[in-house]
């Protein structure tokens, strides 16, 4: 509603024509106010969808919110910093488990993001030159990204089953690589199973973004480099990667945040009780709140996670923007 009434007001004023006298002030007010007015609907929704729940979550982390209080959680007793103390007391079981889960998640995220980026970039570079069937291959590569998470992951679960799964059928029955069929969904291998699914699911996104980034690199650069005698590897190192830098900065950050916070993949694979080797922090927090019915502690852990991710994002942005500034100068 505001947008429709406001828009004609803009059109009445030709750019640069300053109205005289009293009209000038209202005109300026309008000009300053308009962007905010236009932003208002988005702001209100952002407030409702993101900020209010986040604020409530932070409030909850200071409450003793167990099954005895969830029905009327406004009246739940305040617990001060108790939930945080429990979460970061790394000598006690709850804190120890959280720290373990944190390290598992960091290792998992680094590996997954690294592999997603590597495979995605490699595929995008190879798909750069036109050849027969390129369109088909590109579409095929995007399938994992387009599949609904649940369907894709549950299929992997079937393949990872020890007795009837495809993976063991190939590794054990056909290639005889192992003496005994291995477990993939319990025990230490579960980490690798989770990593495989995560990379399988995540690399097409990297592929897509890098492919888009490659379109912006002028072809003359490669031609000039080829004339100067640069080989393919040198072209990738000297032209492709530096040109992709801004794309990669965003891509890696987004992949990092998604992977670190990924809930669906581990939850569909392992259910409510993930094996210790694959105890990702998102499921761990879910378990700490929904399964043990202690929403206060769960919220405190979420807030800690939020702080950590804020720090990582902040450092990443600071480092990359400094790089950009020096590059611009």
Report the residue from 27, 57, 181, 246 that binds another protein according to the rule CB under 8 A.
Answer: 181
Rg of the chain on CA atoms, in Å: 26
| # of chain residues touching another protein (CB under 8 A) | 40
* CA dist list (Å): 142 to 197, 212, 216, 318: 15, 13, 21, 32
Cβ atoms within 10 Å of 16's Cβ, excluding its own = 5
- Cα separation, 123 vs 142, in Å, equals 11
Residue-wise DSSP of 152-189: HHHHHHHHH-TTT-HHHIIIIIIT---SSPPPSSSSTH
Report the residue number, 49 or 319, with the smaller CB distance to another protein.
49
Report the residue number, 29 or 52, with the smaller CB distance to another protein.
52
Report the residue from 10, 29, 39, 48 that binds another protein according to the rule CB under 8 A.
Answer: 48
52 near another protein, judged by CB under 8 A: yes
Which two three-digit tokens encode residue 190? 């579960």
40 near another protein, judged by CB under 8 A: yes
Is the Cβ–Cβ distance between 290 and 273 less than 8 Å?
no
Report the residue number, 84 or 203, with the smaller CB distance to another protein.
84
155 near another protein, judged by CB under 8 A: no
147 near another protein, judged by CB under 8 A: no
User: Which residue is it, tokens 């009780």?
Assistant: 273
9 near another protein, judged by CB under 8 A: no
- Cα separation, 128 vs 232, in Å, equals 12
Least Å distance, CB 193 to another protein, is 11
Report the residue number, 165 or 204, with the smaller CB distance to another protein.
165
- Cα separation, 310 vs 250, in Å, equals 15
| String of contacts with another protein for each residue 243-282, x by CB under 8 A | ----------------------------xxx-xx------
Cβ atoms within 10 Å of 187's Cβ, excluding its own = 14
Which two three-digit tokens encode residue 287? 């378990």
242 near another protein, judged by CB under 8 A: no
Which two three-digit tokens encode residue 123? 């595929």
| Binding segment (CB under 8 A) for another protein, from list 13-21, 115-123, 145-153, 289-297 | 289-297
Burial 86-117 (b: 16+ CB within 10 A, else e): bbbeeeeebbebbebbbebbeebbebbbebbb
| Binding segment (CB under 8 A) for another protein, from list 107-115, 182-190, 204-212, 320-328 | 182-190
- Cα separation, 323 vs 199, in Å, equals 28
Least Å distance, CB 183 to another protein, is 6
99 near another protein, judged by CB under 8 A: no
Report the residue from 51, 68, 223, 324 that binds another protein according to the rule CB under 8 A.
Answer: 68
Length of the chain: 329
| Binding segment (CB under 8 A) for another protein, from list 20-28, 217-225, 238-246, 285-293 | 285-293
Interface ranges with another protein (CB under 8 A): 1-2, 40-41, 44, 48, 52, 56, 66-68, 70-75, 92-94, 97, 161-163, 181, 183, 185-187, 271-273, 275-276, 287, 290-294
């Amino acid at each position: 509603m505001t947008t429709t009434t406001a828009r004609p007001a803009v059109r009445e004023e030709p750019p640069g024509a300053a109205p005289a006298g009293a009209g000038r002030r209202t005109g300026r007010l309008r000009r300053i106010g308009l962007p905010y007015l236009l932003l208002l609907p988005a702001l209100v929704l952002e407030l409702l969808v993101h900020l209010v729940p986040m604020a409530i979550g932070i409030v909850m982390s200071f409450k003793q919110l167990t099954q005895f209080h969830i029905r009327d959680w406004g009246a739940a007793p305040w617990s001060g910093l108790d939930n945080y103390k429990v979460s970061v007391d790394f000598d006690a079981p709850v804190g120890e488990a959280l720290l373990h889960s944190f390290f598992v998640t960091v290792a998992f995220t680094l590996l997954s993001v690294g592999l997603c980026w590597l495979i995605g970039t490699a595929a995008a570079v190879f798909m750069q030159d036109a050849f027969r069937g390129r369109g088909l291959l590109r579409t095929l590569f995007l399938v994992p990204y387009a599949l609904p998470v649940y369907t894709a992951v549950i299929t992997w679960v079937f393949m990872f089953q020890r007795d009837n799964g495809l993976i063991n059928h190939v590794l054990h029955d056909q290639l005889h690589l192992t003496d005994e069929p291995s477990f993939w969904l319990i025990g230490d291998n579960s980490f690798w199973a989770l990593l495989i699914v995560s990379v399988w699911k995540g690399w097409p996104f990297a592929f897509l973004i890098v492919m888009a980034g490659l379109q912006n690199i002028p072809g003359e650069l490669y031609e000039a480099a080829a004339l100067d005698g640069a080989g393919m590897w040198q072209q990738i190192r000297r032209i492709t990667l530096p040109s992709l830098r801004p794309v990669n900065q965003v891509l890696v950050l987004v992949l990092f945040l998604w992977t670190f916070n990924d809930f669906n993949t581990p939850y569909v694979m392992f259910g409510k009780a993930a094996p210790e080797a694959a105890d990702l922090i998102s499921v761990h927090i879910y378990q700490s709140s929904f399964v043990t019915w202690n929403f206060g502690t769960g919220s405190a852990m979420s807030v800690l996670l939020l702080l950590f991710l804020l720090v990582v994002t902040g450092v990443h942005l600071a480092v990359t923007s400094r790089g950009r500034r020096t590059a611009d100068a």
